[in-house]
A and B are shown apart, each in its own frame.
Chain A
Amino acid sequence: MIIRPITTGISNKNDTVPEFADHLFLTEVFESTFSHDFGLTGFGLITCLRGQTLFYINDQNLLLDSSSFAVVNRGSRLKLSGKSASQPVLVFFRSILADVVAAEIFHKNVDSEKEPTYEELRDRSLIEHIHYTRASLNSQLRQVMRLSQSCASFQALKTDALLRSLLQNLSEENYKAIAISSRLPVVKKSTRVDLYKRLSLAKNWMDEHLTANIALQNSAGIAMMNPEHFLRNFKTAFGITPHQYLMQGRLKLAKKLLTETSLSIQEISEQLGFEVLSSFSYQFNRQEGLSPSAYRKQAGMS
């Protein structure tokens, strides 16, 4: 991996799409307001570990902080700007490795309902949008930075392993996105990409607001679609309704709280946004085949 300040940029002479012989990790703490134009970029991810940074990817404006990141597709046009004390991070993956990983995932999943072409696998436009950060991403990026300046054994190999793990996760997500978006009843590619991105945005938003009282109109609003259109397309893409998706997420969280905390069943029910305990118990029983207290007992917690 090569680590450099952002202002040294990337080499894309004559406005061509750059190829990366090694992973490139760009980061810098800016002392004053800044803006930087990268021109065309390779496949990577962008985030901001301190403060906020406004990234412009083609015609999208994304304000990112440590709770969010975005994927940049190979060949996209990228600019960024921000205020002092911000620390943006841009990671561009080794081009050949990105292709190898995509091809490996493709070969592992040959039985899936639709086999994407190699060109489709290299195209990450479906996941080129804002994602909400799992805490592990920030910790991995910080670990990459620490390791790059560390005296630890095999530090170059270990930073590569961390970046490969990020690349693997993004490539798997891209593969899933290709499979899911192929179910959408849209012929034109740009429309399908746009529709998939809107649905994903709403799905990610629901993940972040599992315990809130979310109505169909709220998630449809995030996707900038009318509720009926959103409901129909969400179900086609993901196989379940937005309500079922929310319920699944809540019950997954319930299982975590039941086995990892000593909160009472009533407290868990309230924390998950259920208005009455009986509704939580009913939904839990329906999905798991036993009550929340029986589940907790089975897991060895009293």
Chain B
Amino acid sequence: MEQSQWSKFKLRVNLNTSIKEAYECWATPAGLEKWFLRDANFKDAAGNEKAKDSLLTEGDTYEWLWYGYPDSVMEKGKVLKANGKDEFVFTFSLGCPVTISVYQEAGETIVQLVESDLPTDQETMLQHFVGDSKGWIFYLANLKSVLEGGLDLRNKKEELVDVITA
């Protein structure tokens, strides 16, 4: 694999749900808390807190907290694009953009995730490529589980560490 190929990865998951519901799982704070985050706090560009059920828009900033971790493990970032129906882009690990596209294929709804611009220097390349893609694989599987079966697979205990579910 050439070094530049480590700068980006694509993951897809098929969901038995509508495009609208899948989109809202990414583009509303309440949607994100259903399958991904313990607490999703967003503010608009003027610094006002967004309601949990509001649709997120370009320029919103976030502070995310995870199940299984204290509040000191907080990820901060920004919504780069939100078209209100099928495309949602936000900054994530090291500020790299993550692009979510939602579309139909073979009668099912596909959520496609592309994380790009990952660092390709030797020492950090593998930990971010492997660490982030591994993390998203679990959470995309959890998205499917929550939407289709109502079972949340996340570890919610802080005392339980070193598991792929948090």
Contact = CB atoms under 8 A, between A and B. Distances in A.
Contacts of A161: 72-75
A140 B164 CA distance: 20
B131 A156 contact: yes
A160 B93 CA distance: 9
Given A152-B68, A157-B128, 6 more contacts: A136-B72, A146-B161, A156-B132, A157-B93, A160-B93, A162-B72
B92 to A, nearest CB: 7
Interface residues of B, number: 27
A150 B162 CA distance: 5
A165 B72 CA distance: 6
Contacts, number: 67
A152 B94 contact: no
A22 B121 CA distance: 10
B48 interface: no
B66 interface: yes
Interface of B: 66, 68-69, 72-75, 92-94, 121, 123-124, 127-128, 131-132, 134-135, 138-139, 161-166
Contact of A157 (B123, B131, B165, B166): B131
Contacts of A140: 72
A143 B73 CA distance: 10
Contacts of B135: 153-155, 157
B69 A158 contact: yes
30 contacts: A2-B123, A2-B124, A21-B124, A22-B124, A136-B72, A143-B73, A146-B161, A146-B162, A150-B162, A151-B134, A151-B163, A152-B161, A152-B162, A152-B163, A152-B166, A153-B134, A153-B165, A155-B131, A155-B135, A156-B93, A156-B124, A156-B127, A156-B131, A157-B132, A157-B135, A158-B69, A158-B73, A160-B94, A161-B75, A162-B72
Interface residues on A, range: 20 to 34
Interface in A122-171: 136, 140, 143, 146, 150-158, 160-162, 165
B165 A154 contact: no
Nearest to B163: A152
A146 B139 CA distance: 21
A1 B128 CA distance: 10
Contacts of A153: 134-135, 138-139, 164-166
A133 B66 CA distance: 25
Contacts of B165: 153
B36 to A, nearest CB: 10
A22 B123 contact: yes
B121 A21 contact: yes
A24 to B, nearest CB: 10
A141 to B, nearest CB: 11
B66 A158 contact: yes
A160 B73 CA distance: 9
A151 B121 CA distance: 22
Contact of B132 (A21, A136, A151, A154): A154
A73 to B, nearest CB: 24
B90 to A, nearest CB: 13
B123 A151 contact: no
A123 B93 CA distance: 28
Contacts of A155: 127, 131, 135
A152 B164 contact: yes
Interface in A1-33: 1-2, 21-22
